[in-house]
A = this chain, B = another copy of it.
Amino acid sequence: MRHDSPTFSPLYRQIKNLMLNALESGEWRPGQAIPSEQELAIRFSVSQGTVRKAIDEMAAENLLVRKQGKGTYVASHNDPRALFRFLRLVPMDGDLAHPQSVPLDCWKAKAGNEAARMLGIELGAPVTILRRLLRFAGKPVVVDEIYLPGEIFQGLTMEVLQGSHGSLYSLFESRFGVRMIRAEERIRAVAADRMTSETLNVAEGTPLLSVERVTYTYGDRPVEWRRGLYLTADHYYLNELN
């Protein structure tokens, strides 16, 4: 019998979708182990090889992490290895000390034209805006302005930010149940304006990297829009092309 359906999708991909649902619904939480391949094979009534292929894809997408001899785990931004997955800025003298995040400001507003388009929300819908500074070895290097859909990030305040210690995405994951899984960055070179130059302690007009990022969660839903200005005197943005 031929299979003429134009929407054909192989079994392992259907299994993958079921597993994505388990992640999205919160049945399996970041940091926790998911059931063993054998258990999943029984649960979904397929062979272990088919489950395996589904997990393979999800591991390649950084959704799951396999650990031989232990099990398969839901990826988490609490994992320190995840920090530099989204922050590609590297010190020129390989000083790998973690940057320090300093919240500058946090307020609520209504989505403007651009924010609404980027976040896929209504014009005028509530957004939370956050400004923060990143210090490397004490020196200010990055200023970020971050737009978040107000509905999802209710209760995000300066107090919450100041009480948090890991990365922002780690906080978003733990406190708001939002896991960032993919992002697009648009990079340009700009001159530092007055305000930014003061924050970064450089001359006005200094060339800076402008990094606009849209970040997506499960189902390719955009949940963050941010613009970062990077001082690249002692750092560079590292990108691997494969």
Interface residues of A (CB under 8 A from B): 60-62, 85-86, 88, 182-191, 205, 207-209, 212-213, 230, 232, 236-242
Contact = CB atoms under 8 A, between A and B. Distances in A.
A182 to B, nearest CB: 6
Contacts of A205: 205
B86 A239 contact: no
Most buried by B among A182, A187, A212, A238: A187
Most buried by B among A182, A183, A185, A239: A239
Contact of A187 (B186, B212, B237): B237
A201 B126 CA distance: 43
A209 B191 contact: no
Contacts of A236: 186-188, 212
Give the 3 A-B residue pairs with the shortest CB-CB distance, closest first: A188-B232, A189-B207, A207-B207
Contacts of A207: 189-191, 207-208
A67 to B, nearest CB: 17
Interface of A, helix, strand, loop or mixed by DSSP: strand
B232 A182 contact: no
Given A207-B207, A242-B61, A237 B188 contact: yes
A49 B187 CA distance: 42
Contacts of A60: 60
A208 B184 contact: no
A235 to B, nearest CB: 8
Contacts of A242: 61-62, 182
Contacts of A182: 240-242
B187 A86 contact: no
Most buried by B among A62, A88, A212, A237: A237
Contacts of A88: 239, 241
Given A88-B239, A182-B241, 8 more contacts: A62-B242, A85-B241, A184-B239, A185-B239, A187-B238, A189-B189, A213-B241, A239-B239
